Amino acid sequence: MQTLTGTTLNLPQLAHSRNTGMPLDLDWVASVQANTSAIERRAASIGGRRSVKKEFQAAWLLKAISLIDLTTLSGDDTPDRVKRLCAKARHPVAPATLAKLGLEGLTTGAVCVYHEMVETAVRALEGTHIPVAAVSTGFPAGLSPYRLRIAEIGESVRAGAKEIDIVISRRHVLTGNWQALYDEMREMRAECGEAHVKAILATGELQTLRNVARASLVCMMAGADFIKTSTGKESVNATLPVSLTMIRCIRDYQDRTGIKVGYKPAGGISKAKDALTYLALMKDELGQAWLQPDLFRFGASSLLGDIERQLDHYLTGAYSAANRHAMA
């Protein structure tokens, strides 16, 4: 068995400017279309065409771990649960396992929590480079009073969150009120200050891929640093056709502005093989630059456990029990 140091995992972080946004271009928005059947055919081809095995699969799975926003967003979250989750983010794979793979220092990309748990997570992650991401703006529905949604962003930033996952008002997309969506996103981005902002589109509630594409573009025009599929609370969350639609909008935005915007699929990604498919899609469509945590994240709570089981299988030839890899 070969060790994996120097492979996909250890690519350098890329330095790029934040998305400052641009004036709303309604002509560009109106021109955006989505060929649903073609998108679905392309998405369906990814898993079969881009398979990796043995040490190459292990290396890609380790890369996936570094891109996870390790998440707990439950009504019964407690400070102790969040502390345990942060401990897992610090050491997502057993040190003995990493040693066998010839690696050290692996962490997840971030820890994502409700505002109430931000301070707890910040304290638990002191001394690391792991940022805390806070879901905000009336997550998950985004229907609380607007002034309170804006205030919630500021509270999370002051509590120490370095990333804010905001939810858009879906009604602006469903009614085609792009100016309202742009203005809302612009104000939310301003309230985030130096914290990076991820715009959650809740794509399962936007009805069409064309709406997904147009909403993606408007949020990027308004300054979103990332666009994100879902809250994880909708009946349909991240899918490959939605992801393909959104990342092609990211590519178009970069072509026109020169600005790189990140992507975060969230909800329903719980298997290691799914993570590999998403990584292949990102590499094919956007290139190597989008395989770093500053431009790609998985929003997940159970994905890490399945990746650990696959790594155990790579090392021993046997699958470990799922209860050996508890998150919190």
Residues labelled catalytic: 165, 228, 264
Residue 75: alpha-carbon gap to chain centroid = 21
Q: Is 232 helix (H, G, I), strand (E, B) or coil?
A: coil
Nearest in space to 162 (alpha carbons), one of 214, 125, 202: 125
Token output for 115 = 């505002």
User: What is the SS3 assignment for 89-132?
Assistant: HHCCCCHHHHHHHCCCCCCCCEEEEEHHHHHHHHHHCCCCCCCE
Computed on alpha carbons and rounded to an integer, the radius of gyration of the chain in Å comes to: 19
**DSSP 8-state code for residue 266:** B
Q: Is 22 helix (H, G, I), strand (E, B) or coil?
A: coil
Look-up of token digits 């109430």? 116
Non-local CB neighbours of 275 within 8 Å, separated by 6+ positions: 61, 64, 269, 298, 303, 307
Token output for 323 = 């209860």
Q: How far apart are CA 234 and CA 128, in angstroms?
A: 32
Residues 198, 228 contacting (CB under 8 angstroms): yes
Residue 10 — φ and ψ, nearest 5°?
-95, 30
